[in-house]
Structure 1
Amino acid sequence: MSDVVLREPAHRVSPRAVPYWRLSAAIGDAIVAIAAVVAYVVVPGMPGWTIVLVLLVVAAAVAHVVLMPRIRYRVHRWEVTDTAVHTRSGWIGRESRIAPISRVQTVDSRQGALMRPFGLASITVTTASAAGPITVDCLDADTAREVVARLTAITAATEDDAT
């Protein structure tokens, strides 16, 4: 058995990911919390214990907005080398993905409407893998453009077939 230990990817995502994730979570959680409160107020004859359920939903939403962005920022990492793309993501569970450059088929970038004001973009590396594409969320937009250009150059120079 080998004593080789896989190191974590070298780079963090942009620090602006924290407020972006916080705002994204707040929007989604606000919808759920408002729906729970409205259901409690509008539906006649709700049992008294349902207020506890509504309060739990609201408390979970607040905890999600406060805790999730910080945890994700500490966990999310990425790295592109001449031989592989390596990512780690998650906030409750953890996922590490490594794709050899020879398996890369396409490289895409995306900047959603909510990402734009934060100056963030994501890249997606599609590989010849049943596990699906590798995504690096919340990079600085300029860094994302540089990574896409670098990956394009590396894969163009690779002689192996990405199938």
Structure 2
Amino acid sequence: MTLVDPANPPSRKAPMVWALAGAVPWTVLAGIQVAWFVVDRQSPGWLHAVPAALTVLGVVTFVVVAPLWRYRVHRWDVALEVATPAVFTRTGWLVQERRIAPISRVQTVDVHRGPLDRIFGLANVTVTTASSAGAVRIVALDVEVADRIVARLTDVAAIGDRDAT
């Protein structure tokens, strides 16, 4: 099986969802720091400024840079017309991973939608295979695209002549 570079990006809404998900813990941390500043006015200014600067750095990294970088890296493809049909993914932002799941090894195909996914009309597809490496996940797809992928994979896996074990 040749290593194919997947071509399809996640939904264009993915960076916004990832940014909002990343903003939640940083907002809580910033709120705690503001409360600490209000309650503890006698500490030296630098004692509040250093954690605040680290929080700003974290917000820039995880709310601005990481979602955009993930969008540039994340790719997926479901190749059914090639000699060896498979699901291909590339994920990550600091640590990048490429996964290939042959269709003959597919056991289940699931769709997951968290609260932010539902608000933005996104879905995540999980393809579980007979592999010790775990499932292959295609994240942040428009719901219609996810439904098409699930239908195609389910149809192809159901008519396969081999058991996925």
Match of 1:86 among 59, 65, 88: 88
Which shifted more, 32-41 or 54-63? 32-41
Residue number in structure 2 paired with 1:19 = 16
The whole-number CA distance in structure 2 between the counterparts of 1:46 and 1:5 is 61
The yes-or-no answer on 1:7 pairing with 2:4 is yes
The whole-number CA distance in structure 2 between the counterparts of 1:126 and 1:46 is 53
Mapped contact 2:26–2:55 kept (Cα < 8 A) = no
TM-score with structure 1 length normalisation?
Answer: 0.87
For residue 97 of structure 1, give the secondary structure of its aligned residue in structure 2: strand
The whole-number CA distance in structure 2 between the counterparts of 1:111 and 1:14 is 14
Mapped contact 1:10–1:79 kept (Cα < 8 A) = yes
The whole-number CA distance in structure 2 between the counterparts of 1:135 and 1:103 is 15
Which shifted more, 57-66 or 39-48? 39-48
Q: How does 1:1-80 map to 2 (within 5 A)?
A: 6-39=3-36, 42=39, 49-51=46-48, 52-80=50-78
Residue number in structure 2 paired with 1:116 = 118
Question: CA, structure 1 residues 40+139, in 2 after alignment: closer, same or farther (shift >3 Å)?
Answer: same
Question: CA, structure 1 residues 5+104, in 2 after alignment: closer, same or farther (shift >3 Å)?
Answer: closer
The whole-number CA distance in structure 2 between the counterparts of 1:89 and 1:135 is 9
Q: How does 1:106-145 map to 2 (within 5 A)?
A: 106-145=108-147
The whole-number CA distance in structure 2 between the counterparts of 1:132 and 1:123 is 14
Question: CA, structure 1 residues 103+42, in 2 after alignment: closer, same or farther (shift >3 Å)?
Answer: farther
The sequence identity of aligned pairs, in percent, is: 47
Which shifted more, 20-29 or 4-13? 4-13
Q: State the Cα distance separating 1:91 from its structure 2 match.
A: 1.1
Q: State the Cα distance separating 1:44 from its structure 2 match.
A: 8.6
Unpaired runs of at least 5, structure 2: none
Runs (4+) of structure 1 exceeding 2 A deviation are 4-7, 32-51
Which shifted more, 15-24 or 44-53? 44-53
Question: CA, structure 1 residues 59+38, in 2 after alignment: closer, same or farther (shift >3 Å)?
Answer: farther
Which shifted more, 50-59 or 67-76? 50-59
Letter in 2 for 1:17: A
User: How big is the alpha-carbon RMSD for the aligned residues of Structure 1 and Structure 2?
Assistant: 2.1
Letter in 2 for 1:158: G
TM-score with structure 2 length normalisation?
Answer: 0.86
Count of residue correspondences: 160
For residue 58 of structure 1, give the secondary structure of its aligned residue in structure 2: helix
Mapped contact 1:71–1:91 kept (Cα < 8 A) = yes
